[in-house]
Amino acid sequence: MSDEAMIVDGTGSVFLAGSYLVKSAIGESIDNETLGGATTHSEISGVTDYKFKNDEECLDHIRNIFDKMGGQPSAGFHRAAPAEPAEKSEEIYGLLPADRAKPYDMMDIIRRLVDNSEFEPYKDLYGQTLICGLARIDGWAVGIVANQRKIVKSKKTGMQMGGVIYSDSADKAARFIMNCNQKRIPLVFLHDVSGFMVGSQSEHGGIIKDGAKMVSAMSNSVVPKFTVIVGNSYGAGNYAMCGKAYDPRLIVAWPTAQLAVMSGAAAANTLLQIQVASLKAKGEVITPEAEKELLDRIKSRYEEQLSPYYAAARLWVDAVIDPLETRKVLSMGIDAANHAPIEKAFNVGVIQV
């Protein structure tokens, strides 16, 4: 059902049933190449349109096909002349602490991703655990929503932990996302998020309605969304920052990424409490040594599943990329998305204030 069908000699094959099934079903003995290889489909059946000696020749032909295609209406995303970051891009490798619990300044990463290292912050003194602002990546105008990992101080609530989404930061991000939709500016989400703030103070402050406001604005966005998982991406924070469940055009991870419902330590301690309570209910006595052994076993098993490679193998992310490839990947994604004009009106529905 493709417009053009290509096949590589010696490696490509197409058939409704392979040689073993054919033998089993009707008793015919035939090899796969004769049954449905490149020569069969290019010279006998007519199933394929082009036959090539190798993959390189096939890829060159695909480029030639696209080179001749006519233009289509674009979405109109704004692009200026591309420029490299003013800060050295290679320095991005040394910016993340080896200990993922340690704070760092996400702006150091942003300045090594955006053109001329120029970034226009939005409400930069409010809701500081989320960085929102406008920039260009390879010439394309983008709205960036990123988790700030520094410890910051709010004049309203005091100290706030980096990587955590609070009511004020969710409120800010919701409005920024809506602004980008009004202006037709693609959104880029940079993850290093532990989740939303919990506890009585946050609940009484309305973290649920403010978090829902951000999720609503993000999930109803009509501009293309691109997600880069830099570090942690845990729980509802993954959702709010446009995780896989919210259909970003591209979602990629750095090798430093971790994806899960919660961190390995938090998950292990939670699961441990459940298992210990279950054993105690059965009248079993748990020694501190046995408890530690159980914790280590749970943590080891859980941390294997945090890996970005584990996620990529299950299509939870589209690719694990070299951090230096981030600009290129985002630029290619926006370029592709620009060929799909926005036809749906932006409607976030009813938002609690």
pLDDT along the chain (353 residues), means of 10: 92 93 92 94 95 96 91 91 96 92 95 97 95 97 97 88 93 96 97 91 89 95 97 92 95 94 69 78 79 77 85 95 97 96 90 77
C-alpha dihedral, 240 to 243 to 247 to 252, nearest 10° = 140
Residue 11 contacts by C-beta under 8 Å, 6 or more apart in sequence? 55
- Residue 325 DSSP class: G
Torsions phi, psi of 286, nearest 5? -105, 120
Q: What angle do CA 229, 200, 298 make, to 5 degrees?
A: 50
- pTM for the full model? 0.83
Q: Which long-range contacts (CB under 8 A, 24 or more apart) does 119-126 make?
A: 119/144, 122/172, 122/176, 122/179, 123/172, 123/175, 123/176, 126/168, 126/172
Q: What angle do CA 335, 336, 339 make, to 5 degrees?
A: 95
Domains and CATH numbers, the chain: 6-67 (no CATH), 89-263+306-337 (3.90.226.10)
Q: Which whole-number Å values give the CA distances from 36 to 7, 22, 51, 62, in the listed order?
A: 11, 12, 13, 22
Q: Where are the alpha helices (DSSP H) in 184-318?
A: 200-204, 207-219, 235-240, 264-281, 288-304, 308-313
> Is the CB of residue 129 less than 8 Å from the CB of residue 163?
yes
Torsions phi, psi of 276, nearest 5? -65, -45
Give the pLDDT score at 263: 66
Give the pLDDT score at 279: 77
122-146 burial, b at 16+ Cβ within 10 Å, e below that, comes to bbeeebbbbbbbbbbbbebbbbbbb
Give the pLDDT score at 99: 87
> Is the CB of residue 137 less than 8 Å from the CB of residue 115?
yes
Give the pLDDT score at 264: 64
